[in-house]
Amino acid sequence: MSRVYNFSAGPAALPTEVLEQAREELLDWRGSGMSVMEMSHRGKEFMSIAEQAEADLRELMGIGEGYKVLFLQGGASLQFAMVPMNLMGSAGKADYINTGAWSKKAIAEARRYGKVNVVASTEESRFTTVPAADTLSFDENAAYVHYTPNETIGGVEFPYVPETGGLPLVADMSSTILSRPVEVEKFGIIYAGAQKNVGPAGLTLVIVREDLIGSPIAGTPTMLDYGTHAGSGSMYNTPPTYSLYMAGLVFQWLKRKGGLAAMAEINRRKAEKLYAAIDASGFYSNPVDPVCRSWMNVPFTLADPALDATFLAEAKEAGLVTLKGHRSVGGMRASIYNAMPEEGVDALIAFMAEFERQHA
């Protein structure tokens, strides 16, 4: 059976080269006589996998020695709680920017542990833009500032990194991590669920500045203390070993592709051509402010919503799958993460043009 072009928002497509390598190593990882799924997480074989994965991620992102890299579980959703548990401290309050569904969930969770000040919200625009950089004002006594650089559901993305005046900046980068270079030193914490640009579901990356570790609020469970995992090399308990191994293969694939600068150029080109096709059409539309359009998640609607089911069915026949928009917003959504080849975007654009010709 031939493989389809999978536009899922997550779990998302993985690079074919990575899947092929994993298949070759499935029963016997490099002469060990074992699958990675069968290895002790404390054995020398798996420890070498984990150490290489961290080294490769640090190289790709330029992560300095002042940061810990943690391989955790629970997804970005658990980080909605772990961040305030570990950072609220004596301040008891934090600033949040609300630009969509995932921001709102982070805000709701943080309110369990302290005062949340929503310094800006774009809900009135139906989350089709982000606040202008010069309109943001933060509480100098806040423990940190939290934002979501890319909202997967709405397809809206910050074109800038907020300046916080020295407050730790926390970013949920689940849908943009590794899609382009990032200045890690601008952030106190970067966290991301793996199932979009990194690897299979089950793994969560947390890049945390060392000075932010060690002062959790009273009552924080051992497993939710960053210090627990930083002090044990992410091996306090059994990590998601196979997901970590797969992420390591993705890191090596990215290095072979030329790193994040090369990936950024490809991703920019993919997004620009898809938005250009939508904008040139009277049949399709995208609601997001062009300045804030996501490179990773491209929502669009058809002029006649009654054609949505037909569009999805015919797209599937053409080998283009999981294009249905999130249930909260409807329409279509094409998620074009790193593993989506440019040919897949070209195939989608060609299909959209033919569908419009037949149904407009």
pLDDT digits (tens, 9 = 90+) for 88-101: 998 999 999 999 99
Q: Is the pLDDT of residue 181 over 60?
A: yes
Please state the rounded mean pLDDT for residues 189-213.
Answer: 97
Q: Which pLDDT belongs to residue 1?
A: 57
Report residue 30's pLDDT band, with 50, 70 and 90 as the boundaries.
very high
Q: Which residues are catalytic?
A: 102, 172, 196
Q: Is the pLDDT of residue 304 over 80?
A: yes
d(CA 189, CA 164) in angstroms, rounded, equals 13
What are the structural domains of the chain? 17-256 (3.40.640.10), 258-359 (3.90.1150.10)
Q: Which pLDDT belongs to residue 327?
A: 82
Please state the rounded mean pLDDT for residues 70-91.
Answer: 96
Please state the rounded mean pLDDT for residues 307-312.
Answer: 98
Report residue 196's pLDDT band, with 50, 70 and 90 as the boundaries.
very high
Question: What is the model's pTM?
Answer: 0.96
Task: Calculate the average pLDDT of the chain.
Answer: 97
How many residues are listed for the chain in this entry? 360
Report residue 158's pLDDT band, with 50, 70 and 90 as the boundaries.
very high
- Encoded tokens for 175: 């849908």
Please state the rounded mean pLDDT for residues 202-209.
Answer: 98
Output the CA–CA distances (angstroms, integers) from residue 162 to 38, 45, 96, 121, 273, in the order listed.
44, 41, 11, 14, 28
Q: Which amino acid belongs to residue 323? A: L
Report residue 282's pLDDT band, with 50, 70 and 90 as the boundaries.
very high
Q: Is the pLDDT of residue 344 over 90?
A: yes
Q: Which of these, 114, 171, 174, lies nearest to 146 by C-alpha position?
A: 171
Q: Which pLDDT belongs to residue 330?
A: 83
Angle formed at CA 315 by CA 312 and CA 318, multiple of 5 degrees = 155
Report residue 255's pLDDT band, with 50, 70 and 90 as the boundaries.
very high
Q: Which pLDDT belongs to residue 166?
A: 94
Please state the rounded mean pLDDT for residues 118-147.
Answer: 97
User: Picking from 107-121, 161-175, 182-196, 325-339, which range would have the lowest pLDDT averaged per residue?
Assistant: 325-339
Please state the rounded mean pLDDT for residues 344-359.
Answer: 98
d(CA 148, CA 171) in angstroms, rounded, equals 6
Please state the rounded mean pLDDT for residues 126-139.
Answer: 96
Encode 122-134: b = buried (16+ Cβ within 10 Å), e = exposed.
beebebbbbbeee
Report residue 73's pLDDT band, with 50, 70 and 90 as the boundaries.
very high
Please state the rounded mean pLDDT for residues 28-39.
Answer: 97
Encode 205-215: b = buried (16+ Cβ within 10 Å), e = exposed.
bbbbbeebbeb
Please state the rounded mean pLDDT for residues 160-184.
Answer: 97
Please state the rounded mean pLDDT for residues 170-182.
Answer: 98
Please state the rounded mean pLDDT for residues 60-64.
Answer: 97
d(CA 10, CA 281) in angstroms, rounded, equals 28
Q: Is the pLDDT of residue 49 over 60?
A: yes
Q: Which pLDDT belongs to residue 360?
A: 85
